[in-house]
Chain A
């Protein structure tokens, strides 16, 4: 009975993605058409004459029957065409490319912080269960999650930005850096390294610290609870007792047996927290004036630009699907039992 190879698992899992994506796309499509009224009229404001509205509707294809719209929509997504915004006529795909980098920078940095916080505190809390280490760790986790990310951001800005003046409180980088840094990947962090511009890199990092740590701590708070419970559960497992019977040192038992095995479900949970991460990113970007997709979405919402909103929401949904796919792969890599 040999295990299925990673490759087979990957292919099978990939195949399951298709129906999920289809459902999500349909869901978003319907979602955007639930509101009554003409989306064009809403986006353009109230004082536009009906003839203009009709002309634009026709040009953008909003007067076609719903099934045709649906078909065009799916066809477009398949080809990477996510439509154009109504208000400023930008292609959604270019919005993603230009602003996506900022969001990526933020979420990756925040995930890193969240993982470190969650794993370290969760492991200590689980290992030293019911001691003061455990209690304070758990309390920290609870309060961290109870903090709305924008409130923590508010406090961080107040403390580190205004009162101590150590770190900047808005934007991705200072205007000078942004003006002079050549754009390659649209991710300032990488572009700075690319250009060997260490001053710019430091500037970027300084701007990244507050938003990433804020979001990371809040998400990390949730991790703590999960890691802790999994460590406690693993420490009770049969193979842990068997290892102790062989005289394995308690430290090895905790780290090599309990912790590693506790990580397995945690990796899945990281995938579930992705939804939290993306939602939190939207709020974080608003709080810190971070020019990512989240704040872009908020401004299109404010302008009632349905096309823009739809395009960005589709991207969010697809990102979650792809990310959970990757999470499953990592899981299968770690735990050989999962490969069907």
Chain B
């Protein structure tokens, strides 16, 4: 990467307070997103990816705290006062949510939504200029100008999501975070929305962090991808590279679980998603890992960098000098974990 990354996460942690010990939703995550790049973040439900998305924008709910660095164009957002972060939200950082049906104010027309955000962030625009920019952005999303003055309830789910994306993009942010943007939409609409998102870099020059549990979306739309498990990023690299040769057993199992027309039998990862309050010791995936070794229980894997620039956290990839004697022996797991194939 020659230019400075748009977003750089370093040792980011986001924990939620509970009546007992905190939930370690994001536990030491480092990630970089370059200018106009599309990066996918995949993982099961509850692995912490939504928290990560919200943490970047400083939209964490009450009781949650963050530590580490969220460097946007070099500045650490976590060290800024809340008012400063709020000012960045909109013109610099955008967030598109999962449920488009409930994300627009039912009492305000679409035109009012646009007018409000433009008047706040770009007050120098005249009413006419603002209107034209709004219509243009909506047009690129496929919403005709005749519907500009309608109310949210008059639009379908797919159209509302497009409006949300347009609302985020009308301010030309440098980074857009999309949290499961197509999960509640049907497949055809999903395809359209994805095409829009994939074109972001061409039309708007915006970098995109696409959070999803759907590997197919990642394959279609993303340049790079990160795989998240139990609050940690276990593998990160180019989409091509990861799909061709997944380095981490979890990634491998995920890929094998996806269903396509060639699927003859269902493959699932045994075991249950990990407890984020009290995660498994050592490598958090070890209870469900078909390749688990003794060292995986005792020691947290050290992140490794592979030849093609990929990062992976797995003892299978070393460093071997750190593995104690006998640590390479396979771990005896309770029945049901070992891979039947």
Cβ contact of A261, chosen from B89, B97, B103, B106, cutoff 8 A: B106
* Interface-lining segment among B35-43, B44-52, B113-121, B333-341: B113-121
B154 & A1 in contact (Cβ 8 Å cutoff): yes
In the complex formed, the residue of B with least CB distance to A334 is B107
Collect the chain B residues with CB atoms within 8 Å of residue A256's CB.
105, 108, 116
Q: How far is the CB of B181 from chain A (nearest CB, A)?
A: 13
Most buried by B among A238, A247, A250: A247
In the complex, whether A249 has a CB less than 8 A from a CB of chain B is yes
The residue in chain B whose Cβ has the minimal distance to the Cβ of A337 is B153
Residue in B closest to A244 when the chains form the complex, CB atoms: B59
Task: Select from chain B the residue with minimum beta-carbon distance to A263.
Answer: B107
In the complex, are the beta carbons of A246 and B89 less than 8 A apart?
yes
Q: Which residues of B are found within 8 Å of A239, using beta-carbon distances?
A: 102-106
B292 at interface (Cβ–Cβ under 8 A)?
A: no
Contact residues in A for B283 (Cβ distance below 8 Å): none
B95 within 8 Å of A (CB atoms): yes
What is the chain A residue whose CB lies nearest that of B167? Answer: A246
Question: What total of chain B residues lie within 8 Å of the partner, measured CB to CB?
Answer: 30
B150 CB contacts on chain A under 8 angstroms: 2
Q: Nearest residue in A to B91 (C-beta to C-beta)?
A: A247
Q: How many residues of A contact B (CB 8 A)?
A: 26
Query: Once the chains bind, are A247 and B106 in contact (CB under 8 Å)?
Result: no
A239 nearest in chain B by CB position: B105
Residue A63 CB within 8 A of the other chain: no
Which of the residues A2, A238, A247, A337 comes within 8 Å of B90, measured between beta carbons? A247
A237 to B107, CA, bound (A): 13
Query: CB-nearest residue of chain A relative to B112?
Result: A256
Which listed residue, A2, A250, A257, touches B105 by the CB 8 Å rule? A257
- Residue A72 lies at the interface, judged by CB distance under 8 Å to chain B: no
Q: Is the CB of B102 within 8 A of A247?
A: no
Binary A-proximity of B230-249 (CB < 8 A = 1, otherwise 0): 00000000000000000000
Cα A238 to Cα B131 in complex, Å, equals 25
B residues within 8 A CB of A264? Answer: 107
Q: Once the chains are docked, how many angstroms separate the CA of A3 from the CA of B149?
A: 12
Known: A335-B107, A336-B153. A245 touches B59 (CB 8 A): yes
For the complex, is A193 an interface residue (Cβ under 8 Å from B)?
no
A248 x B105 contact (CB < 8 A): no
Among B65-116, those with CB < 8 Å from A are: 86-91, 94-95, 97, 99, 102-108, 116
Report B-chain residues with C-beta under 8 Å of the C-beta of A260.
Answer: 107
Q: How far is the CB of A240 from chain B (nearest CB, A)?
A: 8
CA–CA, A119 to B237, complex, Å? 55
| Cα(A244)–Cα(B87), bound, Å | 10
* CB neighbours of B153 from chain A (8 A): 3, 336-337
Q: Mark A316-334, 1 if CB is under 8 A from B, else 0.
A: 0000000000000000001
A237–B86 CB distance below 8 A: no
A158 at the interface (CB under 8 A from B): no
Q: Is B164 among interface residues, defined by CB-CB distance under 8 A?
A: yes
Alpha-carbon gap, A29 to B88, bound state (A): 67
Check if A249 sits within 8 Å of B104, measured CB to CB: no
Instruction: Tell me if B222 counts as interface (CB < 8 A to partner A).
Output: no
- In the complex, chain A residues 222-281 whose Cβ is within 8 Å of any chain B Cβ: 237-239, 241-250, 252, 256-257, 260-261, 264
Kindly identify which residue among B87, B103, B164 contacts A247, using a CB–CB cutoff of 8 Å.
B87
Contact between chains at B97 and A247 (CB < 8 Å): no
Check A247–B105 contact: CB distance below 8 A.
no
Contact sample, A vs B, 9 pairs, CB 8 Å cutoff: A242-B97, A247-B89, A248-B120, A256-B108, A261-B105, A264-B107, A336-B106, A336-B151, A336-B153
For the complex of A and B, list the 8 residue pairs with the smallest distance between their C-beta atoms, beginning with the closest.
A247-B90, A247-B89, A238-B102, A242-B103, A245-B95, A239-B105, A246-B90, A336-B151
